[in-house]
C-alpha cells in the first residue's frame, strides 16, 4: 500500500485486490454506491467481467471507501464501476483510483484508458483529463453512454479519432447447470 493523502488525520491508501477478501471489499463499496444509492439492479452491477478484471480499492485507515474495476484489452485498459462511498466524496478519492489505473496501465504497456460514462459524469471526467469520443455515444435515454479516452502517458496525446474498435458492453449470457449459454447446442 502506498499512502497518498489523509482525511481527518487518517491515511488514504490505494491497493490492488490480491485476495478474495479484498475483492469482496471492492464489491461491498460498489453495492453500497450503485445498488443502494442509485437503485441499479444487482444483475446490471455484477457480471461475468468481475473475475477477469483487476480491482483497485481505496481505504481510509482500514475501511474500504472507494473502488474501481479495471478491465484489460489488447492495447488499452478500461476503468469502470468507479465508486466512492457517499460520505467520503469530495476528497479526491476517485481521482486517486483513476491515477492508479493509469499507472498500472502504463506499467503493462497500454497506450490509453477508455471508459463509457453517463452524461452526468462527463464534466467530472473531463476535469481529470478525459475527452469525449464523439462517435462513441451508445444507447438512448437515461442509459445513454458516452465513450471517453485518456492517454496513459500525458506527454503523448491521443489522435482525435482514437478510440478502441473492439469494445462491447453487453450482459453476460444466462448459463445452464453445465455452464453453457442457454439455448446453445451441445455438440
Percent of the chain, pLDDT > 70?
A: 77
pLDDT of residue 130: 94
In tens, the pLDDT along 18-75 reads 999 999 999 999 999 999 999 999 999 998 899 999 999 999 999 999 999 999 998 8
| Among candidate residues 107, 95, 186, 96, the one with its CA nearest the CA of residue 153 | 107
Domain 2-151 falls under CATH 3.40.50.970: no
Nine cell digits for residue 91: 476528497
Query: How many angstroms separate the Cα of 66 from the Cα of each of 79, 83, 141, 143, 183?
Result: 13, 5, 28, 23, 38
pLDDT at 136: 46
The stretch 141-153 carries a mean pLDDT of 83
The model's pTM: 0.80
Mean pLDDT along residues 147-154: 91
- Identify the pLDDT of residue 170: 44
Q: State the pLDDT at residue 48.
A: 86
Q: What is the pLDDT of residue 158?
A: 75
Q: Report whether pLDDT(3) > 60.
A: no
pLDDT of residue 4: 57
Average pLDDT over residues 76-99: 95
Q: Tell me the pLDDT band of 174, cut-offs 50, 70 and 90.
A: low
Amino acid at each position: 500500500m502506498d499512502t497518498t493523502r489523509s482525511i481527518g488525520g487518517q491515511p488514504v491508501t490505494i491497493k490492488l485486490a490480491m485476495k478474495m477478501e479484498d475483492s469482496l471489499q471492492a464489491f461491498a463499496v460498489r453495492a453500497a454506491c450503485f445498488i443502494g444509492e442509485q437503485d441499479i439492479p444487482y444483475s446490471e452491477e455484477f457480471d461475468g467481467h468481475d473475475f477477469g478484471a483487476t480491482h483497485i480499492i481505496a481505504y481510509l485507515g482500514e475501511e474500504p471507501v472507494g473502488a474501481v474495476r479495471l478491465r484489460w484489452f489488447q492495447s488499452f485498459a478500461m476503468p469502470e464501476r468507479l465508486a466512492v462511498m457517499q460520505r467520503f466524496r469530495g476528497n479526491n478519492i476517485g481521482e486517486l483510483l483513476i491515477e492508479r489505473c493509469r499507472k498500472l496501465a502504463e506499467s503493462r504497456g497500454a497506450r490509453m484508458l477508455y471508459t463509457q460514462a453517463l452524461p452526468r459524469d462527463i464534466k467530472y471526467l473531463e476535469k481529470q483529463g478525459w475527452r469525449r469520443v464523439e462517435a462513441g455515444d451508445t444507447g438512448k435515454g437515461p442509459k445513454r453512454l458516452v465513450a471517453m479516452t485518456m492517454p496513459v502517458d500525458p506527454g503523448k496525446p491521443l489522435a482525435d479519432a482514437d478510440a478502441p474498435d473492439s469494445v462491447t458492453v453487453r450482459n453476460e449470457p444466462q448459463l445452464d447447470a453445465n455452464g453453457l449459454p442457454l439455448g446453445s447446442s451441445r455438440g
